[in-house]
Structure 1
């Protein structure tokens, strides 16, 4: 029976802006159990989501453009995981390059 709740569409009206309140609105509107760390969503924003859409697709839209991705547990709960920050690639100094 896991997964059936994700197939059902719901009406969402989650505003754009700061991600944390948007995630809380998503939880209230979807009824989905969503787990995330406060430090992972700090300083992140979302474009929001509005319309009749499946909860997993709505969450994907909310997370679009962030470093967060979804991991689903066997119990149906969703957990947000922050991807590690990419390390900058060292570029050789201009004096080290040959023309």
Structure 2
């Protein structure tokens, strides 16, 4: 298995706005389809494909995802770009 990098100095939190319950549910399904398991509920952990992150959704509109670990060959921008793409798909763009 590849090396993983702890992001103590790296990735900033990703903040999403206008995240309805339907969008939040869609986002979790997209992550699971991509091989990333998600904790049940509105906050918890995302883990898979060498990525470990924490997420927190306020139950209404705001979702924050903080990347804690990632493969050493993967940049923060790649991870956040994929998360943003999933969000756009879930919002119907």
TM-score normalised according to structure 1 size: 0.30
- Bigger radius of gyration among the two: 1
Bigger share in strand:
2
TM-score normalised according to structure 2 size: 0.31
* Greater relative CO (CA pairs within 8 A, separation 6+): 2
